[in-house]
C-alpha cells in the first residue's frame, strides 16, 4: 500500500474492495486483538487491520474491545476500572477459554507493528478522541489511520477539535445525515461506515452509493456478525457466504460497489474475489 497517495487513489488502483481484518485474524489458541493476530492479518494480505482500543484507569491505552473482559480475560472488571499494572499482569484466553501466553498489547505496540504496512481502522476511538489522537501522532501513522465514531454530538465535536485531519468515517445507521455537515466543518471525511438491517435502507441504496462516489467518498460495509440480534448488513454476511452462498453474502456487497468489506474470514473472502475476477 502506498501511503504517499490518497486512499481514493489506492482504492482505484486496487479495483476491488479493500479487505478489512476484523480485530486481526484469530482463532484456536490465538486471541483477537493481539500482536500475532495482526501479524497474521498482514501476512494474509489485509488492506486494513481493524483494532479496538480500551483505556486503563491510569490513562494507558490498549488494543482490547471494551466490555469483553469477561470473555477474553475472564474478569468481571473492565480495563477502564483497572490500573495498567493490573492489565499487564493478565493473560488472554483462547477459543476454549483456556489461558494462553498472550497479553493485552499496548496501543503503541500495535501502531508500531502496523506502521507502513496497512491502513489501521481505530474502533472505539470515541472513548478518548484527544488521547488516542495523541498516540497516533506520536507513532507517526497519521497517513494510515482511519478513525470512526458514532454521530452523537460529543464524539463529532471531539473529532472536529482533536482529529480533523485524520481520515474519518462516521457510523451511519439506516440513513446518512452527517457527512455533508462534517465536510463543511473541515473534517477529513473519506466516506461512511454503513449499518443497515434491510436492503431498502437508504444508506445501501444505489442512489446513495452513487452520490457518495460522485463526491469522491467511500463506503465501508461489514460482512461480520458480532451479534446475530443486531443486523448490520441485511444478512449479507460471512456466515451466509461460508454456508455455501458467497454470491448472496460477499458478492451482493461487492455488486453494490462498496469500497471496504470488514470480515472475520479474510482468506476465504480474498479467494472468492480472486475467483470472481478470473
Q: What is the mean pLDDT of the chain?
A: 97
Q: Determine the Cα–Cα distance for residues 261 and 254; give it in Å rounded to an integer.
A: 8
What CATH number should be reported for the domain holding residue 171? 3.20.20.190
Provide DSSP, 155-202: HHHHHHHH-TTSEEEEEEESS--SHHHHHHTT--B-EEEEEBSSTT-G
Task: Give the pLDDT confidence score for residue 52 in this predicted structure.
Answer: 98
Q: Determine the Cα–Cα distance for residues 17 and 12; give it in Å rounded to an integer.
A: 9
pLDDT digits (tens, 9 = 90+) for 4-43: 999 999 999 999 999 999 999 999 999 999 999 999 999 9
Burial per residue of 159-178, b for 16 or more beta-carbon CB atoms within 10 angstroms, e otherwise? beebbeebbbbbbbeeebeb
pTM: 0.96
Which has the closest alpha carbon to 191: 214, 207, 162, 174?
Answer: 214
Domain contains 96: no
Number of domains the chain contains: 1
**Cell triple for 97:** 477459554
By 3-state DSSP, what share of the chain in percent is helix, strand and coil, each rounded to 5?
35, 20, 45
Domain contains 85: no
Beta bridge partners of 108: none
pLDDT at 199 over 90: yes
Domain contains 74: no
* Residue 4 CB contacts under 8 Å (≥ 6 apart), including other chains: 143
pLDDT at 227 over 80: yes
Task: Give the pLDDT confidence score for residue 263 in this predicted structure.
Answer: 98
Beta bridge partners of 121: 50, 146
| Rg of the chain over all Cα atoms, to the nearest angstrom | 18
Domain contains 92: no
pLDDT digits (tens, 9 = 90+) for 55-102: 999 999 999 999 999 999 999 999 999 999 999 999 999 999 999 999
Domain contains 63: no
pLDDT over 70 for what percent of the chain? Answer: 100
Average pLDDT over residues 146-155: 94
List the domain range (segments joined by +) for residue 238: 7-55+113-277
Backbone angles phi, psi at 34, to 5 degrees: -115, 160
Block residue for cell numbers 463506503: 219
**Cell triple for 24:** 486481526
Domain contains 264: yes
Domain contains 79: no
Q: At 278, is the pLDDT very low, low, confident or very high (cuts 50, 70, 90)? A: confident
pLDDT digits (tens, 9 = 90+) for 228-270: 999 999 999 999 999 999 999 999 999 999 999 999 999 999 9
Q: Determine the Cα–Cα distance for residues 193 and 148; give it in Å rounded to an integer.
A: 8
Domain contains 20: yes
Contact yes or no for 102/34 (Cβ under 8 A): yes
Amino acid at each position: 500500500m502506498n501511503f504517499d497517495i490518497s486512499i481514493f487513489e489506492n482504492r482505484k488502483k486496487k479495483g476491488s474492495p479493500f479487505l478489512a481484518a476484523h480485530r486481526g485474524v484469530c482463532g484456536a489458541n490465538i486471541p483477537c486483538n493481539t500482536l500475532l493476530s495482526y501479524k497474521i492479518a498482514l501476512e494474509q494480505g489485509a488492506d486494513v487491520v481493524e483494532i479496538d482500543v480500551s483505556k486503563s484507569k491510569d490513562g494507558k491505552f490498549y488494543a482490547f474491545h471494551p466490555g469483553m473482559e469477561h470473555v477474553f480475560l475472564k474478569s468481571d472488571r473492565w480495563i477502564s476500572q483497572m490500573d495498567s499494572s493490573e492489565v499487564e499482569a493478565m493473560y488472554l484466553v483462547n477459543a476454549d477459554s483456556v489461558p494462553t501466553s498472550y497479553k493485552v498489547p499496548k496501543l503503541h505496540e500495535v501502531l508500531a507493528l502496523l506502521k507502513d504496512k496497512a491502513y489501521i481502522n481505530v474502533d472505539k476511538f470515541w472513548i478518548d478522541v484527544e488521547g488516542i489522537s495523541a498516540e497516533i501522532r506520536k507513532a507517526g501513522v497519521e497517513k494510515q489511520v482511519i478513525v470512526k465514531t458514532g454521530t452523537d454530538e460529543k464524539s463529532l465535536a471531539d473529532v472536529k477539535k482533536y482529529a480533523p485531519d485524520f481520515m474519518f468515517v462516521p457510523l451511519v445507521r439506516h440513513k446518512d445525515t452527517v457527512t455533508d455537515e462534517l465536510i463543511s466543518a473541515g473534517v477529513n471525511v473519506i466516506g461512511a461506515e454503513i449499518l443497515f438491517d434491510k436492503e431498502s435502507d437508504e444508506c445501501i441504496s444505489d442512489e446513495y452509493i452513487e452520490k457518495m462516489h460522485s463526491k469522491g467518498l467511500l463506503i465501508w460495509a461489514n460482512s461480520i456478525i458480532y451479534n446475530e440480534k443486531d443486523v448490520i448488513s441485511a444478512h449479507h454476511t460471512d456466515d451466509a457466504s461460508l454456508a455455501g452462498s458467497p454470491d448472496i453474502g460477499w458478492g451482493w456487497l461487492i455488486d453494490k460497489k462498496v469500497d471496504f468489506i470488514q470480515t472475520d474470514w479474510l482468506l476465504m473472502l480474498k479467494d472468492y474475489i480472486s475467483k470472481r475476477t478470473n
